[in-house]
Amino acid sequence: MQENRSCFAALLVAALVALVAALLFVVALVVWLSEWFGSIVLPCLLVGLFFAAFAVAIYALTLRPAMQRMHEQFMVIYDMMRLARDGVDAVTKLFFRS
């Protein structure tokens, strides 16, 4: 159990270090572009638009098909539960007529 905690802690620290490194890279990129363009607003917009387009591409190429498959599976479960409820209602009406 102790080994799992230390492994989890190491993975958490590694993920945090990677996140800080990515943030520092983005800041350095914006600062470098601001030196090149002579403005801070335009590089912020360019980097922001790049990451927004990257997020849209990730969603369109990977997440959307997976979410559609999950939706189809939930709809099958919903249909089966509805059929089971209708069957229970029919049996209940058959034996317990009011």
Mean pLDDT per block of 10 residues along the chain (98 residues) reads 77 92 93 92 92 92 88 95 93 83
pTM of the model: 0.56
Which value, to the nearest 10 degrees, does the dihedral of the CA atoms of residues 45, 51, 56, 62 take? 180
Would you state the pLDDT for residue 75?
96
Tell me if 30 sits within 8 A of 49, measured CB to CB: no
d(CA 16, CA 9) in angstroms, rounded, equals: 11
